[in-house]
Structure 1
């Protein structure tokens, strides 16, 4: 896709490969059925001669095609399943409740369906998320000076040993040792290309990564060791701010971020990350370009390592760096996301330019 429309042959190859990088940027209209689909539609793929490709939903509808009922192309890619959304909203309303399978069934949900939906989206079950929220709330009470037995009962633990084991597993310390300890907050942020995890203290953002990034568990453990802080599910000012800024970014109305970032990394890594933030949206550079920006022309490999060590996705835009030959290179969130982000920013910049020209023309 990078900056030019792919041929129909390339698009058909992406369709048969269910390439998620094209979701939102191209659709397949199937002439034999009269429907249009996402590239990731789970239905059996149509024959090449029955495929017509359109770049917009409007183009599909204007050509007389109906949206597929399986992949639901009218919904934004990455939008959570309604049952996932409803259960997360219920959890937000009662974070200290001791949720059970019976509670899920009483809401009319099939347990296996819920389990698969949450595993697919977050890599853990709803009950595991609820348990983390519950223990996290208890930890917040403990750091504020609440007696251990009171925090235990508020969290729904009848057994003191069970409560101690849960806290030890999550924080590596006994409940009594959490008094006065600083806790980082972690929250899921929904985006059009899948959920992200944000971790922050009350002053700065420490981590922003896609939830399905394979290295995420190790990154969280490394952050805990580096800061000496426990991590609980919850929200604070920096998380609320980055969620708003990401909302504008994905809506195509703004590519600037002002959320304060925690100063992790070596001096050189921070120089590289600052250089990445200086690359404008809609532009792409090579690792060599970044090394030259730092007046370190021989440090290309070190730049690449620093690029890979970045734990603040999108805000520190390591996706804007390509290989020397212009090819997509490694990206922790997946190469399809890297391609998606580059194309999204290109369209954002083009759209901004069009609006500016329109305004200029109106005033001249």
Structure 2
């Protein structure tokens, strides 16, 4: 900790007041937009429940948030050091490039100085910032049957331990601890709303979550127990099917998913998930409406808990549940994604109407 953070209420008040006291010491990450800002940002203030306050830019970036284009939280660091400004610009121009220390030297900078400067300003080095964007490549190398060392190289990690740590932070296990003869397989699927992790058996989809969701590691740990540690990486027929269906979904040509699902929950929870799947694309329901649908009108809170326990996002469409007053309410993948999903599904209404007629 750089200093003791005040409580959430105090920081939110400081955000509303645009209190410069915390400038450069605390940043606000807004789940509804996926953006992080300085507390002095002139943009419209987010709702209290959508705010998370972190001490460093590095923490914000690690959690998948993008820098605000109005208050430019990276600008003070860049302005203070021309080298940082040049490297941030280069990274934005070539995010896919595997940056290494010789590249820094070619730009006329001393790698050790750059390392210290980025660590001081962002809580991570420039190479760590760049490598975070590359982890997906390493994952896909293993999916395609490549060795861990090949995955490490493809991901642009010079250190095997750093690659293992980054990998474990995502999946809860380092590559070497994944089962070589798994019964559950993790796969990486890119979507317009962010990368997703799918876990499948040879016959069913067990999990589908956005890679940046905080609960992902907990959900994977539960599946690991179910599989008795036999989780690995690879593609299966269900993972290929769901990847294809997700492409069609975001293209606006798919009104329902057909990938076979494996439910992990109580009988009541499963009944809620079935009710969610019965909500047509382009429509929404409240918790109380779902409770009525399953014949348990007084079990509204239990319905909400079952909704939150869903670990097969989009396919079991918990994003179609809104508050009784029409508000979006919470969503594990972020309210900004929920809004985008509902907007995406509005395009399905003509298709559904045509089918009915």
State the partner residue of 2:188. 187
Q: Displacement of 1:153 after TM fit? A: 8.9
Give unpaired runs (5+ residues) of structure 2. Answer: 1-41, 47-66, 73-91, 112-124, 154-159
Assess if the C-alpha contact under 8 Å between 1:291 and 1:300 holds in 2. yes
Assess if the C-alpha contact under 8 Å between 1:322 and 1:329 holds in 2. yes
| Alpha carbons of structure 1 residues 103 and 183: separation in structure 2 relative to 1, 3 Å | farther
Assess if the C-alpha contact under 8 Å between 2:188 and 2:195 holds in 1. no
Assess if the C-alpha contact under 8 Å between 1:189 and 1:198 holds in 2. no
Q: Distance in 2 between matches of 1:331 and 1:194?
A: 15
State the partner residue of 2:43. 16
- Per-residue displacement from partner, 1:130-173 (whole Å, max 9, x unpaired)? 66566x579x79xxxxxxxxx8999899xxxx99xx79x78979
Assess if the C-alpha contact under 8 Å between 2:139 and 2:188 holds in 1. no
Give the TM-score of the pair, scaled to structure 1.
0.55
Q: Distance in 1 between matches of 2:178 and 2:279?
A: 45
SS at match of 1:212: coil
SS at match of 1:325: coil
Q: 1:116 aligns with which of 109, 126, 129?
A: 129
Q: Distance in 2 between matches of 1:343 and 1:270?
A: 27
- Per-residue displacement from partner, 1:67-87 (whole Å, max 9, x unpaired)? xxxxxxxxxxxxxx8855x56
Give unpaired runs (5+ residues) of structure 1. Answer: 1-14, 20-39, 46-80, 88-98, 119-123, 142-150
State the partner residue of 2:239. 239
Q: Distance in 1 between matches of 2:340 and 2:269?
A: 25
- Per-residue displacement from partner, 1:186-232 (whole Å, max 9, x unpaired)? 213222x2222212122111111112211112111122112224433
Q: Distance in 1 between matches of 2:293 and 2:277?
A: 12
Number of residue equivalences = 251
Q: Distance in 1 between matches of 2:178 and 2:247?
A: 38
Q: Displacement of 1:42 after TM fit? A: 1.7
Q: Distance in 1 between matches of 2:175 and 2:315?
A: 36
Assess if the C-alpha contact under 8 Å between 1:137 and 1:232 holds in 2. no
Assess if the C-alpha contact under 8 Å between 1:18 and 1:41 holds in 2. no
Assess if the C-alpha contact under 8 Å between 2:322 and 2:329 holds in 1. yes
- Per-residue displacement from partner, 1:52-78 (whole Å, max 9, x unpaired)? xxxxxxxxxxxxxxxxxxxxxxxxxxx
Q: Distance in 2 between matches of 1:292 and 1:327?
A: 20
State the partner residue of 2:114. none
Q: Distance in 1 between matches of 2:226 and 2:176?
A: 21
Q: Distance in 2 between matches of 1:220 and 1:271?
A: 22
Kindly indicate whether residue 69 of structure 2 is the aligned counterpart of residue 42 of structure 1. Answer: yes
